[in-house]
Structure 1
Amino acid sequence: MAKSIQVDELTLGVCYYPEHWPEALWEDDFRRMRELNISVVRMAEFAWAIMEPEEGRFDFSFFARVMDLAHQYGLKVILGTPTATPPAWLTHKYPEVLNADVDGTLHRHGMRRHYNYSSPKYRELCARITRNMVEAYKDHPAVIGWQIDNEFNCESNVYYAEADHVAFRQWLKARYGTLEKLNEAWGTVFWSQTYTDWEQVYLTRPMANPSPNPHLALDEKRFISDNTISFAKLQGDIIRELAPQHWVTTNGLFGHLDSHALTDEVLDFFSYDSYPQFSTIFPSDDENSLKDRAWSMSLANVRSISPNFCVMEQQSGPGGWVNRMEMASPRPGQIRLWSYQSVLHGCDLLVYFRWRTATMGTEIYWHGINDHHNQPNRRVREVGQIGAEFAKIGGAIAGTTYQAEIALLQDYDNHWDGEFDVWHGPFQWQSQRAWFKQLQYRHIPADRITLRPATTLEDLAKYKVIVYPHAAIMTDETANLLQRYVEQGGKLFFGARTGYKNPTGQVNMRPLPGPVAELCGVTVEDYTMIKGTAKAAEIKGADGRLAEGTKAVGFNEILRVDKPDVEVVAKYASEYYEGEPALTRRKAGSGEAWYYGAAYSEQVVDALIDELRLVSPVANWLEVPAEVELGIRASDAGAYVFLLNYADRPVAALLKQRVQDSLTGVWLEGEVELPAFGVWVFERPSA
């Protein structure tokens, strides 16, 4: 059962760093927060040096004063354990706590997250500051919960300190038991890599040709995830022991971390940091790029961990460090748009980063609600509008969940293996993005879900369509689960490079697509990556199902039909495999298994959406243009339709029924303009 945040109404918060400001500013800050309907502040996650200025000398008076004043103004407090920023005395005295590059070069003091999770000394000191901090603040009436550390695996998600090599060996011993089993799993007979002593085993190390054993590389990522979780659990267990009345969370979704397992084992719910401008700072040659709207794809991932979650940092201004990550200033209306983007996808507690823009340090250009000058500005006014709207609709929306009948399926093993393996990794992103984008533009809500060992048929059966495009690592157990999903009525879509590896990352000696060949009724006879002399073949669908000139991108598999009930939906129309099957469908039970021997493109996805007759859930009473994101949050008590306009101009919507915008109270019908960056929230009318 997924863990969700439990609040009675949509709640607004802000990240606050009182250590950056004169104490004389605090009271005015808290007064103005309350005027904006901000009721929660996050603090202390970077303040270890204040609470333990010297080893073993603790002083918790500073934040006690801050929280006393916050409590007077009716503010609740989320406290962060400060272990993301060890103080200088610690890293100077105990350099073994530092992280290291693959060549062993230590990450020196002066940044953040420059430690390793494996150091026994660092774990000892983190446990001590956490225990003392919780003891000091556990009974304060303002405290409602704890954030463990900050952004696990952000900035760096690989670890090569000496302590990490030691911990990796211990993890491998627990996983494999013997060197014989390790050698078998890693295929070390290749290139005479066989290990005869555990001390010979290391994480990735420098080599002339930077291509480590791929099976080691996969296990390395699994180890990093497990090690991160155990580091988080060390702190989570202390908080639960001393302050069981408080909830525990952390903010994440970074690399080499199973955030589902982290939440299961350590957290009460998952939290996320939402910065939609990250989707806009890298150039794209895609004319129809989703831009900041693409952030909904990440938020959909968060929903799969906690259907209702906290956004611990919501972008409230232009962003950037002194030397990188420059982001444009949000246009008028975009802060509100992005806030409701988070709410649509399941956020019930939204905390802005930050109250006031820092005047010092690396993040002096990572703007908050208030500018450096601390005078009124348009961002403050916009947050005030959001606060007033939360007060109006928050009780109805909180606890409702995002509704979707289509899911994009993924898993950690294939994601991590695909980081290194270019024969399937890039296609995962291509296909997931193509499906998500076209579903977005056609106003068909979709989930992104993660296949895990505990995933059941019940988890999958609520979706009419599941897309699992390039699962190179595939077990017979997974194939059996997917077959049962199809037989009970689901439509399942595979893509090229499915089913050719086992969980160690070794290639199976069986016809492709391996464990799902029987379900799909096809065999891959030949294949080519589309690169160099190989050009993407054109494909043609039966009865004009595909537009002229549609190409099978990324990878081309030539399929052989093995069962008489397989329908060839499209064939290759060029290259040496012209006329051979490219896209097939086979009915099994009440459902269908589709196999496409390439990576999905927008053109192909559009054709499949038409073929499946997928339409927007509000198509009978509402028409909106592609620039608008549509989604629904619902519970037994009711359903709410969100419309978010990402365009910098007004767009026309056609309302075939009279509905009321819950944010303004205005009734709307007929052709109506949704303003630039505008937001509407309707209670869904009865049929």
Structure 2
Amino acid sequence: MDKTIPGEKFDLGVCYYPEQWPEHMWADDYKRMREIGFTIVRMGEFAWNFFEPEEGVFTFDLFDRAIDLAYKHGLKVILGTPTATPPAWMTHKYPEILNASFEGMQYHHGMRRHYNYSSPVYRTYCAKITEAMAKQYANHPGVVGWQIDNELNCEVNVFYSNADHAAFRTWLKEKYGSLETMNQAWGTVFWNQSYSDWEQVHLPRLTPGSSPNPHQVLDEKRFISDNAISFVRLQVEILRKLAPRQWITHNGMFAHLDNHAMTNELLDFYSYDSYPNFATIWNDADRENPLMDRSSSNQLTKVRSISPNFCIMEQQSGPGGWVNKMAQPAPKPGQMRLWTYQSVAHGADMLLYFRWRTATFGTEIYWHGINDYHNRPNRRVAEAETISRELGRIGETIAGSRYAAEVAILHDYDNEWDGEFDVWHGPLTRESLYSWSKSLQYNHIPYDYLCVQNKTNLNDLVRYKVLIYPHPAIMSEETAELLKQYVAGGGKLIFGARTGYKDKRGHCRMAPFPGPVADLCGVTVEDFTLIVNKTATPNIRWIDGGDEAGTPATLFNDILHPENDNVETLALFDGDYYAGKPALTRNPYGAGVAYYYGAAFSRDVADALIRRLGLKPVTTDWAELPPEVEVAIREKQKRRFAFILNYSDKPVKARLLRETEDLLEGERLAAGDLDIAPYGVKVLSLE
């Protein structure tokens, strides 16, 4: 069953912190929120001291008044459980709840997310505050849902307190059953690392060369994820029991957490915090044709793989940054609206801006909201009003519609976590995911992410004509069999270098690569090498004489050997000692085909494969779009909605091939030129 927002209407709102503002300001704030058109607010996620100012003493007066007043003004409330920021009275009395660094140094109070998930003491107090809040607000007509904690694994995503080491041992006992089995899984016979007593076992710790056992490191990430999910489960079970009529979500998406499993097991739908400006300073500004803020669409695509229709719990509305880091420029006029529709285009059916007004104190005094410190009208407030009017007009029409794609990129958590430590395949995946997402976007081909999980079945795969699984170094026999069924049924599947050489333990197989999918690909890897010098990167030469001469085969090279006469070599290496050897192959398998590329994917290679696969822009029969714009399609009851987003600071011109309807302007558009303003948005009905 999809974990998704029901899709009956669209809610637009804002994050609000009544505890940070004088009470005489609340009514005016709520009044102006409603004048803009907001219908929902989030509050409470950092306010533990106001709910429990001292141990065992619960007071709800302030939030009772804040929630009652919001409800009186027609605003629905999302309450956050305040467990992301344990109060000082607790950390002082019970310092064991604090997290510790890799070196074992305990962190101190004074930031946020300074706790660990494992402390029995902390879990007890989290249960108590969740229970108290649930009893207080379960039947409040203004409270519609709950956000568990806030941004799990943000700021810090590794945990090394004493409680974590103890919990890791318990987790290992449950996973392996015996030390002998764990020793085998970790390969501890290597370098005499074998354990003879459970008390000898810890999470990774400081070692010579800072290089712990790689299988221990993989299990560490699996443990952190399971431990965080169990921390969420503690709160969810209380809320399900005491507040069954209110929905539950969590906002993420950060490392070392299986968000798919957490959502599937515990939540009603998933929420995400979208800050596209991060990409303008941290992503690919030094690359040719950088995606910049458009790259946030790739993150939203991953979010959509968790919940087809999701909530944006925090949408960037102003310049960002803490006092000491993460400084970001102000969104230019139109960008706040553009980023809002970027989220909506990818499946958001509820969206809240961060935040109503910029804080005048604290670490986030430069993390600006819709209103400035002075509380006077500004261009961001005006832009929010425009967005609200538009979504008020089309919200019910598009709510519940689903993003449509015929291509999917496969990913999984084991390879993600293993690739953080394993430099032989981690960098390949990062490069290839970037290249494919960029190529598909610029070619106007919508795509999904599909997370490979234990519950993934053939029906999940056959929805797509093409699957791309760039570098699944860890490949189980079960996953390999599923992929064979997909291709045999007519699917097209693309692999990259280093596929299939590890089992679930992270052990390298004693079999020709690509291991369990060698027969699917029709090739084995006869040799391989890491590419450490960009100037020495060999090119590939296309057999069909395509115009992609001089395409580098980047980062890693698998030299391929066809194992049957049906394997077609599409490209050869054109350099180094393996010049003339196959670099890219195509193998018929049942009614479908499997491709194997012996390198990391560049945009040039992805573009070339898109052409050879015969993939066409989704706009082929109704529009011609310039590369500056992104196109996304949402569908509902045979209606199709096209979101056209211009990320350029200049006006661009598209061409409509047939008459259509502009939903935002409420007018019919004739075939012909279509002007799109800088940072402009069009939502077209394609029925």
TM bucket normalised to smaller: over 0.9
- Equivalent positions of 1:623-662 (< 5 A) are 623-662=624-663
The aligned residue for residue 172 of structure 2 is 172
Structure 1 residue 7: Cα displacement? 3.8
Matched residue type, 1:134: A
1:492 and 2:493 aligned: yes
Matched residue type, 1:98: L
**Considering only aligned residues, what root-mean-square deviation do their CA atoms show, in Å?**
1.0
Matched residue type, 1:223: F
Change in Cα spacing, 1:533 to 1:451, as seen in structure 2 (3 Å) is closer
1:406 and 2:393 aligned: no
- Equivalent positions of 1:96-495 (< 5 A) are 96-282=96-282, 284=284, 285-495=286-496
State how far apart, in whole Å, the 2-side matches of 1:590 and 1:534 are.
Answer: 41
Structure 1 residue 672: Cα displacement? 2.0
Structure 1 residue 547: Cα displacement? 1.1
State how far apart, in whole Å, the 1-side matches of 2:679 and 2:497 are.
Answer: 38
- Are the aligned partners of 2:323 and 2:365 in contact in 1 as well (CA < 8 Å)? yes
1:618 and 2:619 aligned: yes
State how far apart, in whole Å, the 2-side matches of 1:135 and 1:247 are.
Answer: 15
State how far apart, in whole Å, the 1-side matches of 2:514 and 2:2 are.
Answer: 32
Structure 1 residue 637: Cα displacement? 4.4
Structure 1 residue 51: Cα displacement? 0.8
Structure 1 residue 545: Cα displacement? 2.7
Partner secondary structure for residue 467 of structure 1: strand
**How many residues in Structure 1 have an aligned counterpart in Structure 2?**
685
Comparing 628-637 with 294-303, greater Cα deviation is found at 628-637
State how far apart, in whole Å, the 2-side matches of 1:617 and 1:296 are.
Answer: 17
Q: Percent identity, aligned pairs only?
A: 59
Structure 1 residue 551: Cα displacement? 1.2
- Are the aligned partners of 1:10 and 1:390 in contact in 2 as well (CA < 8 Å)? yes
Deviation readout 1:158-216 (Å, 9 max, x if unpaired): 00000000000000000000000000000000000000000000001112210000000
Structure 1 residue 397: Cα displacement? 0.5
Change in Cα spacing, 1:589 to 1:283, as seen in structure 2 (3 Å) is closer
Partner secondary structure for residue 657 of structure 1: coil
The aligned residue for residue 3 of structure 1 is 3
The aligned residue for residue 68 of structure 1 is 68
Consecutive unaligned residues in structure 2, runs of 5 or more = none
Change in Cα spacing, 1:413 to 1:444, as seen in structure 2 (3 Å) is same
State how far apart, in whole Å, the 2-side matches of 1:637 and 1:435 are.
Answer: 29
Deviation readout 1:278-306 (Å, 9 max, x if unpaired): 11112632121100000000000000000
The aligned residue for residue 673 of structure 1 is 675
Matched residue type, 1:582: A
The aligned residue for residue 571 of structure 2 is 570
- Are the aligned partners of 1:546 and 1:607 in contact in 2 as well (CA < 8 Å)? no
Structure 1 residue 533: Cα displacement? 9.2
- Are the aligned partners of 1:528 and 1:534 in contact in 2 as well (CA < 8 Å)? no
Partner secondary structure for residue 228 of structure 1: helix
State how far apart, in whole Å, the 1-side matches of 2:536 and 2:558 are.
Answer: 13
TM-score by length of 1: 0.99
- Are the aligned partners of 1:46 and 1:85 in contact in 2 as well (CA < 8 Å)? yes
- Are the aligned partners of 1:15 and 1:42 in contact in 2 as well (CA < 8 Å)? yes
State how far apart, in whole Å, the 2-side matches of 1:176 and 1:677 are.
Answer: 54
Deviation readout 1:3-26 (Å, 9 max, x if unpaired): 101242221010000111111110
- Are the aligned partners of 1:474 and 1:502 in contact in 2 as well (CA < 8 Å)? yes
Partner secondary structure for residue 543 of structure 1: coil
- Are the aligned partners of 2:542 and 2:549 in contact in 1 as well (CA < 8 Å)? no
- Are the aligned partners of 1:281 and 1:325 in contact in 2 as well (CA < 8 Å)? no
Matched residue type, 1:403: A
State how far apart, in whole Å, the 1-side matches of 2:208 and 2:515 are.
Answer: 35
Partner secondary structure for residue 64 of structure 2: helix
State how far apart, in whole Å, the 2-side matches of 1:616 and 1:282 are.
Answer: 29
1:683 and 2:673 aligned: no
- Are the aligned partners of 2:405 and 2:464 in contact in 1 as well (CA < 8 Å)? yes
TM-score by length of 2: 0.99
Structure 1 residue 574: Cα displacement? 1.3
The aligned residue for residue 21 of structure 1 is 21
State how far apart, in whole Å, the 2-side matches of 1:438 and 1:169 are.
Answer: 44
Partner secondary structure for residue 375 of structure 2: coil
The aligned residue for residue 94 of structure 1 is 94
Consecutive unaligned residues in structure 1, runs of 5 or more = none
State how far apart, in whole Å, the 2-side matches of 1:543 and 1:126 are.
Answer: 63
- Are the aligned partners of 1:500 and 1:512 in contact in 2 as well (CA < 8 Å)? yes
Structure 1 residue 668: Cα displacement? 2.3
Deviation readout 1:362-419 (Å, 9 max, x if unpaired): 0000000000100000000000011111110001100001000000100000000000
Structure 1 residue 534: Cα displacement? 8.3
The aligned residue for residue 603 of structure 1 is 604
Matched residue type, 2:12: L
Matched residue type, 1:259: N
Deviation readout 1:595-627 (Å, 9 max, x if unpaired): 000011111111111111111122122011001
Deviation readout 1:253-282 (Å, 9 max, x if unpaired): 100000001001111100000000111112
State how far apart, in whole Å, the 2-side matches of 1:25 and 1:586 are.
Answer: 67
State how far apart, in whole Å, the 2-side matches of 1:516 and 1:534 are.
Answer: 32
State how far apart, in whole Å, the 2-side matches of 1:374 and 1:601 are.
Answer: 48
